[in-house]
Amino acid sequence: MKPRALLAVLGTLCASAVHAQSAGSSIIGVGWVRVMPQDSSKPLTIVAPGALAGPVPNTGSSLESADTLGLTYTRFLTDHIAAELVLGVPPRFRLNGAQALAPVGELGSARQWSPGVVFKYFFGDADSAFRPFVGAGLSYIWYSDVRLTGGFQRAVSVTVTRTANPDLRTEAKVDSKWAPVLNVGAAYQIDRHWGALLSVSYLPLKTRAHLRTYGTPVGTVESQSDLKINPIVGMLAVTYRF
């Protein structure tokens, strides 16, 4: 083979290797994640004791958006199909009062853990620098470090005993849930190793918050509220292929 032809072949191979996202490739990503709840809630409902059971009128809540650090590990199973593990530093979500609870302001907060696995289909050739994708997967979501504010503690006290009893104590927990993940986005490979990722995910998510209020004249009062969170999750990340 002539030297000029050999150089042309080598140049083609190198160009393909620079951007290749092909079967066997692994990519890690680190970046900014914005979680934007599209939320609504049902009224706080007392479930026990039976004498107090029923919804508390005009009680609602809303969740603030939160920012955190996201981590991804992507493994290409074929030139077009990849499996991605999604992790992140659990963001703290703040719950604010709505309707009759609006004057209370912040009701409480909790950290959300939501690791997930997403299978993606990448369009374009394996050696394309820019590759849009669509994906679907599953996330397991649970909550830790649930805190209620003093303002909400007093509001619950008034609701249960009709007086602001400082001796009452309310604790809360939130149910863990599985949620489907729908995902779209694009990856851009800058050179052999470095790239960028932009993705948007939607998680249809409903859960339930459980409250227990201790020290009332009728004993422990249990209440709950159903929350529809349905977050849209945006991620902008730097990626490294190896």
Task: Name the range with the highest mean pLDDT among 12-16, 53-57, 175-179.
Answer: 175-179
- Does residue 66 surpass a pLDDT of 80? yes
Domains of the chain from N-terminus onward? 19-241 (2.40.160.20)
User: Is the bond leading into 3 cis (omega within 30 degrees of zero)?
Assistant: no
**Percent above pLDDT 90 for the chain:** 64
pLDDT band, very low/low/confident/very high, at 232 (cuts 50, 70, 90): very high
Q: Which residues contact 60 (CB under 8 A, 6 or more apart)?
A: 41, 43, 97, 98, 99, 100, 101
Task: Specify the length of the chain in residues.
Answer: 242
pLDDT of residue 9: 42
> What are the structure tokens assigned to 39, written together?
């939320």
pLDDT band, very low/low/confident/very high, at 219 (cuts 50, 70, 90): confident
pLDDT of residue 141: 97
- Chain centroid offset of residue 69 CA: 11
Rama region for 105: left / alpha / beta (φ>0; ψ in -120 to 50; rest): left
- Does residue 12 surpass a pLDDT of 90? no
> What are the structure tokens assigned to 171, written together?
């604790």
Mean predicted lDDT score pLDDT of the chain: 89
What average pLDDT does the segment 112-138 reach?
97
What average pLDDT does the segment 45-73 reach?
90
Outline where the chain has alpha helix (H).
Answer: 3-19, 150-161
User: What is the pTM assigned to this prediction?
Assistant: 0.85
* Exposed/middle/buried for residue 226 (C-beta within 10 Å: 0-12, 13-18, 19+): middle
133-186: per-residue pLDDT in tens?
999 999 999 999 999 998 888 888 777 666 667 777 889 999 999 999 999 999
pLDDT of residue 165: 72
- Does residue 11 surpass a pLDDT of 70? no
Q: Which of 22-31, 122-131, 160-169 has the lowest mean pLDDT?
A: 160-169
**Angle made by CA atoms 192, 193, 196, in degrees to the nearest 5:** 110
